[in-house]
């Protein structure tokens, strides 16, 4: 009874700083052990260069899974994951970002601004970066803070749920196309077809490219066909034509070799993965010689984010998203790991 009476005032109480609900990681372990605990924790207090935002949705990324399961080095004793945040500014407004502005927050949460890489327009490989939901708390919560120079006003045409996956899966997929050097009208292979690839194919279709998809799982192959792939095969299956470019999304070294084997001479493979298992030994003369290139994709830049979000609005990009309440954050990550969901996943506070 008391809970029902207080329910309408819950968000007001949280804004006043008494606490908030969050999915908290205390000890990384396999997602089957449900390592995220739903708890009441103190609401974050923004510093002068930050905004406080009420989280409206947060995309679930495979990188979150690598963090939660301990495949990436532990950086904090206690952590709130999540780096694809859609939120509304409730504190720390600026003339450019007034109260109520709906903004997105991505993986790259800050840079030092003065290392060699930052000074040469390579902030994505900054020596001292901040990563949302990894080195600082993220968006599996009712509130979050973010540096005000690393947030992105969102186009009105993108609603909260469909904007969330764009903020990492979309941006990093877009950067992968840039790293691979994709040009209009080329033949492009996508190896793996999860949250990021199903957004990248929309960009490639807008650029009038022929898209060839190799991925495991009948439902993923069906989704790729429905989104306009001209050919779809199994995870390491070779497309019927030589590719100009290929992007690998699966965290598997075998897939990288399959992508290399599909390239024409002078083609490029871009590896879209923050964690990858061992790449098998391969024949240099057959797979890499001929000025083929193998490149990794590291993080993203603010320019990538701005350019991609503008393009997403222009082409009316609508990702396929499955939503989970924040109380089911473990289940959401388990679904990503088992590839039970086509498209993207998000949690809603």
Task: Report d(CA 326, CA 82) in Å as an integer.
Answer: 11
Per-residue pLDDT of 79-122, as tens digits, reads 999 999 999 999 999 999 999 999 999 999 999 999 999 999 99
Percent of the chain with pLDDT over 70: 95
Quote the pLDDT of residue 277: 87
List the chain domain ranges.
9-168+300-348, 171-296
For residue 99, give every residue at least 6 positions away whose Cβ sits within 8 Å of its Cβ, in sequence order, or none: 89, 90, 91, 93
Pick the CATH number of 171-296 from 1.10.10.10, 3.40.50.720, 3.90.850.10, 3.40.50.1220: 3.40.50.720
Tokens standing for 340? Answer: 């039970």
Superfamily covering domain 9-168+300-348: Medium-chain alcohol dehydrogenases, catalytic domain (3.90.180.10)
Share of the chain above pLDDT 90, in %: 89
pLDDT at position 285 = 93
Residue 10 has pLDDT above 50, yes or no: no
195: pLDDT confidence band, cut at 50, 70 and 90? confident
Mean pLDDT of 279-308: 95
Pairing of strands 50-60, 344-348: antiparallel
User: Is the pLDDT reported for residue 4 higher than 60?
Assistant: no
Confidence of residue 180 (pLDDT cuts 50, 70, 90): very high
What is the average per-residue pLDDT within 38-56? 97
Taken as a whole, the chain contains a residue count of 349
C-beta separation of 144 from 14 below 8 A: no
Q: How far apart are CA 124 and CA 130, in angstroms?
A: 10
The single residue listed with the structure tokens 């350019």 is 307
For 179, the 3-state DSSP assignment is helix
26 vs 9: CA distance, rounded Å: 29
| Helix or strand (DSSP H, E) at 225 | helix 218-226
Cα(322)–Cα(315) distance, integer angstroms: 21
Instruction: Break the chain down into helix, strand, coil percent, rounded to 5.
Output: 30, 25, 40
Please list the alpha-helical segments (H only) found in 33-73. Answer: 62-68
- Averaged pLDDT score across all residues of the chain: 93
Cα–Cα separations (whole angstroms), residue 206 to 123, 128, 212 = 27, 36, 15
C-beta atoms surrounding 220 within 10 Å? 22
Mean per-residue pLDDT, 43-50: 97
Pair of tokens at residue 309? 């979000």
Residue of higher predicted confidence among 273 and 348: 348
- Per-residue pLDDT, 18: 67
Q: How far apart are CA 281 and CA 6, in angstroms?
A: 62
Give me the mean pLDDT over the 287-299 stretch.
96
Give pLDDT, residue 318: 87
Q: What is the pLDDT of residue 275?
A: 85
Number of alpha carbons in the 13 Å side-chain half-sphere of residue 222: 5
| Cα–Cα distance measured from residue 7 to residue 29, given in angstroms and rounded to the nearest whole number | 34
């Amino acid at each position: 009874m008391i809970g029902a009476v207080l329910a309408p005032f819950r968000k007001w109480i949280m804004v006043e700083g008494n606490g908030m609900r969050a999915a908290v990681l205390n000890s990384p372990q396999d997602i089957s052990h449900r390592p995220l605990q739903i708890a009441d924790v103190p609401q974050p207090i923004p510093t002068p260069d930050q905004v406080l935002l009420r989280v409206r949705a947060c995309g679930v990324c495979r990188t979150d899974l690598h963090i939660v399961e301990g495949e990436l080095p532990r950086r904090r004793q206690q952590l709130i994951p999540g780096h694809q945040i859609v939120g509304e500014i409730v504190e720390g407004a600026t003339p450019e970002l007034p109260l109520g502005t709906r903004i997105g927050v991505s993986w790259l949460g800050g840079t030092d601004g003065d290392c060699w890489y930052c000074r040469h327009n390579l902030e994505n490989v900054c020596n001292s970066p901040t990563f949302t939901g990894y080195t600082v708390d993220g968006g599996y919560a009712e509130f979050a803070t973010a540096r005000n120079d690393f947030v992105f006003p969102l186009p009105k045409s993108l609603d909260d749920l469909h904007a969330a996956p764009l903020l990492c899966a979309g941006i990093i997929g877009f950067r992968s196309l840039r790293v691979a050097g994709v040009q209009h009208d080329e033949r492009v292979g996508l190896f793996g077809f999860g949250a990021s690839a199903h957004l990248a194919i929309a960009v490639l279709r807008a650029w009038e490219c022929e898209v060839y998809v190799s991925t495991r799982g009948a439902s993923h192959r069906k989704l790729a066909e429905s989104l306009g792939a001209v050919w779809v095969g199994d995870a390491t299956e070779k497309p019927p034509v030589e590719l100009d470019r290929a992007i690998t999304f699966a965290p598997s070294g075998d897939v990288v070799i399959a992508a290399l084997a599909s390239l024409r001479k002078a083609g490029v493979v871009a590896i879209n993965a923050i964690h990858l298992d061992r790449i098998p030994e391969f024949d240099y003369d057959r797979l890499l010689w001929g000025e083929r290139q193998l490149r990794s994709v590291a993080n993203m830049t603010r320019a990538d984010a701005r350019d991609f979000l503008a393009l997403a609005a222009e082409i009316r990009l609508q990702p396929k998203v499955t939503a989970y309440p924040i109380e089911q954050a473990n289940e959401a990550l388990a679904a990503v790991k088992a590839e039970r969901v086509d498209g993207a996943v998000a949690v809603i506070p």
